[in-house]
A and B are shown apart, each in its own frame.
Chain A
Amino acid sequence: MGETSITEIERLLVAEVASILSIDPRAISVDAPLHSLGMSSMAFVELLVVIEKTFDLKLMETDLKKEDFQAIRSLASCIHRMT
């Protein structure tokens, strides 16, 4: 996964968030805070599980801050950095 571009990661995350929240992916802005999309603790953890399965990254165990997690763009950037 090391060669995956940030844009591809963003696209994948948008698809996963849309699937978890059952919303239209076109309605998701990559800069929108995840909680503003209606994401709960459990839905967020489900997203972290997908990230582990896809990128082999256990983000739950890292020291990432709110700024890293709160929007798809920042999350994609972190994943890109760590892979």
Chain B
Amino acid sequence: MHPQDDVTHPMVSIPFSKKKHYLTGIDWLLQGFDCMNKRATGAGNAFQIVMELEGVPAEDRVRDALDGFVKKFPVLGGRTRRDYNLAPYWEIPRRAHNTSSRLDVHRLEDAAEAFPLLEAGVNAPFGNEREHVAFCLIHAGSNGHAAVKFDHRLFDAHGAEVFLGMFQRDWEKGGGCRWESPPLEPAHLDQWRKRFEAGRNLNRALLRLVGDSPPRALPLDPAASREGFGFSVIRFDQQQSREILQRAESEAGYLMAMPYTMALAVQALHGIFAGRGITAGDYIVPVTMDTRLPSDRPREVFFNHVSLLLFRIRADQADDRSALLKSIKQQMYDQAKAGLARSIPDASLLMRILPLPAVEYLLKLYLKQRIASFCFSFLGDTGHMPDRFMENKVRHSYHMTRVPVPPGLGVFFQHSRGSLNACLSYQRGLLGEAEVNRVLDALRSGLQG
């Protein structure tokens, strides 16, 4: 550490360094999920944003633009460390690391080969411990794809979209954009009473949620664990998306697209559980919620600015859309009233003392070894997803998310530039091909009325 890096943060009386971004409890939870996925599948907790392009930019121009852009963010070449005060932090190198990102280029004869390639890309582990972003360019005839894989330890879905928007702006200005260094997170080694109260709040909520029986979950196939995840994406054009969101509003209420799409996801997956004869337990569904304030959205690019809502869905209500919506909205209301979404970031700070395998153990202990039935999120239009990748128009974009294992199953909605899409993500072996098609059909028909 250089002497000029030593400063004292007003909130904590210990020195901290400009090279240290302390991890929040949510970041540590995401590190725990990364650890779980590496153990279960050989690769960490990553997601990929795919942009389908009109035409494809030249490889050397992409490489030059990316190299210049990535060098502006030394944080991209960071890694996790634990400080002498036991708080985990992200060690930020003084300069951008030359192995912190990579670009793979593929040329295909047949455009149908692109999707398996994209699946392989998101399922591949990062090249080294300092690589957290990987770019991929696919030429398929006159069109193509630009895909960017993000390490979930360093980016959440919203931050990744902002990052891509920043790349586009930088390219449009010939690499001349400058950004302030991201704000450093302090160690949060204070306000222990508040943290413990949040922990008590969360503990009670979890115990109420779990009840006596483990959540309904599909059995994982250990033999298929190294095959990664399969993905299926349903896309809707702008007109279809408007109709779906209008239907959500009339059926679930104003600003209630999340509960509406979640109810459809429950119904679609309930058919698979019922078809397999899995009838024990209710559904437990964690839902990721963005916690950025509107004013912070363009600035909070790196790390995870999310919390969780946890829903228990009675299996005997899964066929009744109206009952499902009522239950989901009520639970959302109750959790907002109890301040659960705010308690989780506070309470999870307490977990940072634990080594990552212990985080995994604790999560499984609470949720009877099964963690959840499936994961869900609805990413609203961030307004930051670019409509072009360099000079090429983006026709569609979607997210491919590797889900923590267990449960290894997730449904993720994304609304971007007026178009809605849904991605079913499942660990290979968890769903058969016919089951995947049934889920997609059920989602499609539910969404389109």
Contact = CB atoms under 8 A, between A and B. Distances in A.
Contacts of A49: 333, 336-337
Interface residues of B, number: 25
Contact of A37 (B294, B329, B332): B294
Contacts of B259: 41
Nearest to A41: B258
A42 B249 contact: no
Given A45-B336, A48-B333, A60-B329, A38 B258 contact: no
Interface string B218-257: 0000000000000000000000000000000100011111
B34 to A, nearest CB: 25
Interface string B327-360: 0011011001100010000000000000000000
B290 A69 contact: no
Interface in A20-78: 21-23, 34-35, 37-42, 44-46, 48-49, 52, 60, 64-66, 69-70
The majority secondary structure among interface residues of chain A is: helix
Given A60-B329, A66-B249, A44 B295 contact: no
A35 B258 CA distance: 14
Q: Most chain-B Cβ atoms within 10 A of its Cβ — which of A35, A38, A42?
A: A42
B103 interface: no
Interface residues on A, range: 20 to 34
Contact of B333 (A60, A64, A65): A60
B255 A38 contact: no
B289 interface: yes
B32 to A, nearest CB: 23
Contacts of A45: 332-333, 336
A42 B380 CA distance: 12
Nearest to A46: B336
B442 interface: no
Contact of B254 (A22, A46, A52, A66): A66
Nearest to A24: B295
Contacts of B336: 42, 45-46, 48-49
A22 B309 CA distance: 21
Contacts of B330: 60
A69 B254 contact: yes
Contact of A41 (B257, B295, B296, B297): B257
B294 A69 contact: no
Contact of A44 (B249, B254, B296, B378): B254
A21 B297 CA distance: 11
B105 interface: no
B293 interface: yes
Interface string B70-91: 0000000000000000000000
Nearest to A22: B293
List the 9 closest pairs (A to B, CB-CB), nearest first.
Answer: A38-B294, A69-B254, A22-B293, A66-B254, A45-B336, A44-B255, A41-B258, A49-B337, A60-B333
Given A22-B293, A70-B254, 7 more contacts: A23-B293, A37-B294, A41-B259, A42-B332, A44-B254, A45-B332, A45-B336
Interface of A: 21-23, 34-35, 37-42, 44-46, 48-49, 52, 60, 64-66, 69-70
11 contacts: A22-B293, A41-B257, A41-B259, A41-B332, A42-B309, A42-B336, A60-B330, A64-B253, A65-B254, A69-B253, A70-B254
